[in-house]
Amino acid sequence: MAAANQEPVLILGGGLMGLALAHQLARRGEAVLVLSRRRSEAAGFVAAGMLAPHAEGLSGDLLALGQASLTRIPAWVAQIETDSGLRCGLRPCGIVVPFSSAAARDAYPTAAWGEALDRRGLEQEVPGIGPSWQAGLLFAQDGQIDNRRQLMRALERACVEWGVSFQEGTQVLGLERNGAGALQAVHLRNAEGDAQRLPAQRAVLACGAWSAQLLPELPVVPVKGQMLSLQGPRQALGRVIFGPGTYLVPREDGLLVVGATSEAEAGFSEGLTPAGQRQLQQGIANLLPEAAQWPPMERWWGFRPCTPDEGPLLGAGPVPGLWLATGHHRNGVLLAAITAELVAAQLLGEGLEPAEAQLLAAFRWDRFQPSTRHT
């Protein structure tokens, strides 16, 4: 538990990264205060929860980061479940990526990590798969977690158990720097509409798609995604199906989470669109025709925090005292475990293994600037 009178580490944004960081910092004895504008708008509640470094076809440093996080997820989830007393809905169920030809399958960036399937193998893994798919890759090591209904709540509960304080409905308006440019306070407006100044020498920026509103140097833009869910029979689908443009994620109770559009041009425009919903319906009919008859449950949308290379911005940033945990685009659920571990360790000045320090360095915020690339 945190020492009394210790100035808390401020977490700016109470979405998935904010909660994951708050939890790890509190576990290490830090006082932590989460400033959260709107819990429900967090992409952490929107995501499909796939843990899919291989099915997503990642490469280079991002694949390495995803694989490192995937390895850590079972222990991370066990910790959250023990701390919260709640289940997170982790399912190491494997993910199947279908292709229209064996050639397309063999050209997939992560093909070497998966098991090659022909049409017959595809039908065995995904009974009822649409007729246009002739080949597939099974990534048995990938999986899913029920972020929307379980993980986010369990993380919040785990934070509370470790003494984390929350100010919900609080918008951080700006950062105040001292003469040397380091963080010395944040300015905010609380849920009652009052302006406040909170002194802070240590904070984590975890504002997701909205991060550049607080720190315009960060190249983070929103990429909107629309989702829907259907209620299927309990064990109709054993594996996640990751098709081009649409994926189907079967939860334990038969709920089928269907995603997702990828709309960079939509900015922060709220709401569902007919074109987006049509894309998802067509994707369902292509991937698993029988599911087109299953009753619809919910429809929702959210904003992925995207960077120029679609990798996150991690660790120290342009403002001393303000660490970054943002820009995770379409893999934030996967990357939450490693993000929380590495950023918390760097913030607290803990030693990192060389491989971990290398990963953190690969996701520096200024890697897009020519003078800092490859440093």
Task: CB nearer to ligand FAD: give 39 or 105.
Answer: 39
Task: CB nearer to ligand FAD: give 135 or 256.
Answer: 256
φ and ψ at residue 95, rounded to 5 degrees:
-130, 135
CB of 99 to ligand FAD, least distance (A): 20
The CA-atom distances, in angstroms, between 271 and each of 222, 226, 283, 295 are 14, 8, 20, 21
Options 9, 10, 11, 17; binder of ligand FAD; rule CB under 6 A: 17
Dihedral sign, CA of 291, 297, 302, 304?
Answer: negative
DSSP class of residue 190 equals -
Task: CB nearer to ligand FAD: give 225 or 321.
Answer: 225
Task: CB nearer to ligand FAD: give 49 or 219.
Answer: 49
Tokens representing 197 are: 């100044």
Options 35, 80, 291, 359; binder of ligand FAD; rule CB under 6 A: 35
CB of 134 to ligand FAD, least distance (A): 25
Task: CB nearer to ligand FAD: give 36 or 286.
Answer: 36
CB of 206 to ligand FAD, least distance (A): 5
Q: Which residue has the tokens 């939860």?
A: 251
304 is a site residue for ligand FAD (CB under 6 A): yes
Options 146, 326, 338, 359; binder of ligand FAD; rule CB under 6 A: 326
Binding mask 328-367 for ligand FAD (x = CB under 6 A): xxxxxxx---------------------------------
Q: Are 212 and 221 in contact (CB under 8 A)?
A: yes
214 is a site residue for ligand FAD (CB under 6 A): yes
Task: CB nearer to ligand FAD: give 89 or 135.
Answer: 89
Task: CB nearer to ligand FAD: give 18 or 321.
Answer: 18
What is the four-CA torsion angle of 332, 336, 342, 345, rounded to 10 degrees?
140
280 is a site residue for ligand FAD (CB under 6 A): no
Dihedral sign, CA of 152, 157, 161, 165?
Answer: positive
225 is a site residue for ligand FAD (CB under 6 A): yes
Question: Minimal CA–CA distance to 170: which of 193, 153, 186, 152?
Answer: 193
Task: CB nearer to ligand FAD: give 50 or 255.
Answer: 50
13 is a site residue for ligand FAD (CB under 6 A): yes
3-state secondary structure of 197: strand
Which residues, at least 6 apart from 215, have a Cβ–Cβ distance to it below 8 Å? 175, 205, 317, 318, 319, 322
Quick one: the chain helix, strand, coil %, rounded to 5?
35, 25, 40
Q: Are 102 and 134 in contact (CB under 8 A)?
A: yes
36 is a site residue for ligand FAD (CB under 6 A): yes
Task: CB nearer to ligand FAD: give 40 or 375.
Answer: 40
259 is a site residue for ligand FAD (CB under 6 A): yes
15 is a site residue for ligand FAD (CB under 6 A): yes
CB of 312 to ligand FAD, least distance (A): 8
What is the four-CA torsion angle of 47, 51, 52, 53, rounded to 10 degrees?
110
Question: What number of other Cβ atoms are within 10 A of residue 134's Cβ?
Answer: 17
Options 18, 89, 283, 317; binder of ligand FAD; rule CB under 6 A: 18
d(Cα 169, Cα 36) in Å, to the nearest integer? 6
Tokens representing 191 are: 């849920």
145 is a site residue for ligand FAD (CB under 6 A): no
Residues that bind ligand FAD (CB under 6 A): 12-18, 35-39, 41-44, 46-50, 171-172, 206-210, 214, 225, 227, 259-260, 302-305, 326, 328-334
